[in-house]
A and B are shown apart, each in its own frame.
Chain A
Amino acid sequence: MSGGAATARRGVGFHLTHLLLLGGFSALIFYVTRVVPETQGSLWTIAAIGFLLLAGTLLSELLAPIGLPHLTGYLIAGIASGPYALKLVDEHTVKNLSMVNSLALSLIALGGGAELDFATVRRSARTLGWATLVQCLFVLVTVTALFFVAARPMIPFTRSLTTPALVGVSLLWGALAVTRSPSATLGILSQTRATGPLATFTLAFVMTSDVVVVVLVALVLGCVRPLIDPSAGFSLDSFATLGHELVGSVALGTTMGLVIALYLRLVNRQMLVVLLVLGFGASTIIDYLQFDTLLTFMVAGFIVRNMSNQGHKFTAYIEKTGTVVYVIFFATAGADLDLPLLRQLWPIALLLAGTRAAVTWIGAPISGRLAGDPPVLRRWAWSGLVSQAGLALGLSVLIAREFPSIGTGFRALAIATVAINEMIGPVLFKFALDRTGETSRVMAPSFPSMRPPPMP
């Protein structure tokens, strides 16, 4: 039986059963946390992972009929069960889940790299080039200007800053606004199995923009340091570090990709364990070497896809493993959303996020016309570029560390803005994929229709 038929059969009863069971599992978790208020060590993290996985999966199925992406379901499940809502998962537990995040990010980057076909990227190099230039420039300039104008009346932590310092902070915000979300893009593409110009463009754009953003942030950091901290001079140190990071990441990623390709060719078994080893072991080594994790894994995936004939096999393995990990990753991101902070900063966060989205929307037809893109891209290319997630938050931490005087306020505002983009972006992208007809109609194999594998 096809998955489509199965989906058609799902009626009110199906969703009601799932809703009731979700309520039942939530009640159980709630009851246990109230009956035994104190928890020893990190053992409750186990139940938290299980609950986020289950709640994310069930909620995404419940929201699917109204056209919302699974990712939104995962985020809502996380927000609802997190420390600022039902408190089923506390802050300590959310912090403990960071190990899952490194695994998820490695899979996301590997998957993203493996989706990038060199021939396709080369064919759309003109599109990518113009889009990168226009989007980066438009977003950087407009968001920087808006931040500068809106800062004094609306953003408390900027009121004590001098004008040059405010220019510096505005530029940092502009650079942060340029970041996109590879994880959200991959999450949506993994669910929809979309193929077509929009899917290919968005994937290629967000993956290459990772490199662009890393360079841009390093450049802006070097330039604004003397503006924010008058005692500091213009420094090229960050570029030396950046060079080390980029070259090292590409070299390590290439080696890793070749090893994976060789393994797939010669052994091709137990990829789940291999991916876990990569996610935990290799991530630790990359952190130790101070390379860029996302870039390293992305290059590895790219090499497997383009320098061997194992790419499709590899992509299938990552899709299989990734789905469960993505649920936990995004649900954890939801649980981590600081709702009180969002409530406090929502007017300015909404203004900044809205302006960024609007500029991205305006930039798409302009870059499309310059590159001679097909109408579908001119109309919808912006839709996948609104999401922001881990990368933006990671950079905000870096900026906060570099400039402690504005750090806390800057990071809080970044969290609030990213939260809005994180919620709206995936919905827009899925809507666009559905409208352009790129969403796959062939569903994943389903249980129990699958043929059982032979028992060992």
Chain B
Amino acid sequence: MNAILILVGLLVLSYLGSFLVGGRSVRGLGLPSGVEYAALGFVLGPRALGLVGGDNLAAFEPVVQVALGWLAFVIGLDFGFAGEKRVRAGSLVLGSMSALLTGGAAACAAWFTMDRLGVGGTSTDRILLAGGVGAACAQTTRHAIRWIVDRDEGHSPLADRLNEIAHTDDFFPLIAVAVLFALEPTRDIAMKVPLRDWPAITIGLGLLLGAGSALLLRSEMPIEDTWAVLFGVSLIAIGAATRLGISTLTVCFFMGIAVSALTGHHGELRAMVGPTERPILLPALVLAGARIDFRASPALPWIAAAAIGGRLVAKVVFGWLLATGSRPARKAGPLVGLSLMSSGALAMCIGLAFALRFPGVVGDTVLAISALAATVGEFVGPIRLRRALLAAGEIVDAKASPADAAKGSPPSDETRDSRGGAPI
């Protein structure tokens, strides 16, 4: 298919995405992970209908890189905030703990499965694959608990806590990606850099560019110039990262953190940049879906089952810990951790970044498992979240009496999607 036609198709998707952000209800669309768009991409891609060929995907690599970088920048800008509020320190610790526990469990499960089956190539390949799967499985989508918070902000302790955890578990997965990318540095580099320095260079580059942007944004300037600065520096970050072979996601994420921390205009910037997230995410997910190859490796089903199983167990353990230490979570029961099963945009982005950086078995396997984990998360997460919140008394059953339902029932199908929330 003609590249321009595909580009126009992607723009149309952006258009649809912007409507979802803008508050128009489209029944049946708007899962927190956006995995349905990845499925659409898979159907259109070379492994199904073949409408989007492999050469088209290669031609669109710059577009994908820009999308990934910009999304990571938006996530970085939003890091540590849930809505307009800064997250509590406790939530930051819990979010980081959740990511480390879940990512570690998924990575270990993938590693031991490969070891057991005797697959996975060289030891570096195995580390990359297991680490990539761990990074992709570690986080919970920021949109998972959003509708509850939108509905009853400030009066739902458990929903607030879960929402804050979901907003703070992106840090370690992206550090892990930086470390993993460093294991196979670009061969075109003209100078010798020790492997251990690459992650520091990745983070340093992001912080440096973010600080530069923040300095520029401290003074008052026309809105168009503000966009030029944000977009210009982000593109420099993306281009420099791809040329150096380091993680675009990590560089842009830390750039977002630095901009958010140093400008003093965090709220205004989020208001400017936030609405771009969904329109950029949807085409990226479609392109990610088109790249998915479930036959990347014969061992893929086993590795996927082990990693997703590990993720599930880790979430249960984390939920149990959470229930031990938090009264609202205790009311929800030990399975409260499964409420955080919805993985989302970042997981798919990590999968896609691996597929671009390590084409072949490693990248394709990580991407396929990211998509599978997001799909499983959609089946488990929203249902468990509803049960947890019911048990905690923060929502009432929709089947309850009309008076009770009016007080606190979740939004109907028609309204929930407009908030980007999950069908629960």
Residues of chain A touching chain B, judged by Cβ–Cβ distance below 8 Å, are 1, 3, 6, 9-10, 14, 17-18, 21, 24-25, 28-29, 32-51, 53-54, 56-58, 61, 269-270, 273-274, 276-277, 280-281, 284, 320, 323-324, 327, 443-450, 452-456
Contacts and interface: CB of A to CB of B under 8 A. Distances in A.
A456 B243 contact: no
Task: Give the dominant DSSP class at B's interface.
Answer: helix
Given A36-B190, A273-B18, A448 B66 contact: no
B62 to A, nearest CB: 5
B55 interface: no
A18 B222 contact: no
B11 A444 contact: no
B233 A281 contact: no
Given A43-B242, A277-B11, A49 B190 contact: no
Contact of A35 (B190, B215, B231): B190
Interface in B217-257: 217, 219-229, 231-240, 242-245
A445 B18 CA distance: 23
A273 B217 CA distance: 26
A17 B270 CA distance: 24
A18 B18 CA distance: 34
Nearest to B24: A269
B112 interface: no
Interface stretch (B272-280, B330-338, B363-371, B373-381): B272-280
Nearest to A20: B215
A28 B236 contact: yes
B4 A50 contact: no
A444 B222 CA distance: 6
A225 to B, nearest CB: 34
B65 A49 contact: no
Nearest to A31: B240
Given A47-B235, A446-B221, 7 more contacts: A34-B190, A36-B245, A46-B235, A281-B7, A281-B11, A447-B268, A455-B83
Contacts of A450: 223, 268
Give the interface centre of B83, B235, B265, B279 by most chain A CB atoms within 10 Å: B235
A264 B270 CA distance: 27
Nearest to A96: B62
Given A35-B191, A281-B8, A44 B220 contact: no
Contacts of A274: 15
B225 A273 contact: no
B228 A327 contact: yes
Given A43-B62, A443-B222, A36 B227 contact: no
A280 B228 CA distance: 21
Given A17-B215, A29-B240, A324-B224, A456 B62 contact: no
Given A14-B219, A273-B18, A452-B267, A42 B62 contact: yes
Contacts of B212: 21, 24-25
A50 B251 CA distance: 15
Contact of B11 (A6, A14, A41, A276): A276
Top 9 nearest A-B pairs (CB, nearest first) are: A47-B239, A50-B235, A54-B232, A452-B271, A323-B224, A6-B220, A53-B232, A447-B226, A281-B8
Give the interface centre of B229, B240, B242 by most chain A CB atoms within 10 Å: B240
Interface residues of B, number: 67
A38 B235 contact: no
A453 B223 CA distance: 13
Nearest to B187: A38
A449 B190 contact: no
B61 A43 contact: yes
B12 interface: yes
Contacts of B22: 269-270, 456
A447 B235 contact: no
B290 to A, nearest CB: 18
Contact of B228 (A41, A320, A324): A324
Contacts of A53: 228, 231-232, 235
Contacts of B219: 6, 9-10, 14, 17
Nearest to A3: B222
27 contacts: A9-B220, A10-B219, A17-B215, A28-B240, A29-B236, A36-B243, A38-B188, A39-B243, A41-B58, A41-B61, A44-B239, A45-B239, A54-B229, A269-B18, A270-B15, A273-B279, A277-B12, A280-B8, A284-B4, A324-B224, A446-B222, A447-B220, A447-B268, A447-B272, A452-B267, A453-B271, A455-B84
Contacts of A51: 232, 235-236, 239
A448 B227 CA distance: 12
Contacts of B268: 447-448, 450, 452
A41 B267 CA distance: 38
Contacts of A33: 243
Nearest to A45: B62
A280 B234 contact: no
Contacts of A34: 190
Interface string B389-424: 000000000000000000000000000000010000
Given A51-B236, A452-B267, A320 B224 contact: yes
Interface in B286-303: none
A455 B274 contact: yes
B299 to A, nearest CB: 29
Nearest to B21: A456
A283 to B, nearest CB: 9
Given A36-B188, A446-B221, A455 B279 contact: no
A280 B11 contact: yes
Contacts of B270: 455
A270 B215 contact: no
Contacts of A24: 212
A5 B275 CA distance: 29
A256 to B, nearest CB: 15
B189 A36 contact: yes
B358 interface: no
B37 to A, nearest CB: 16
Contacts of B66: 46
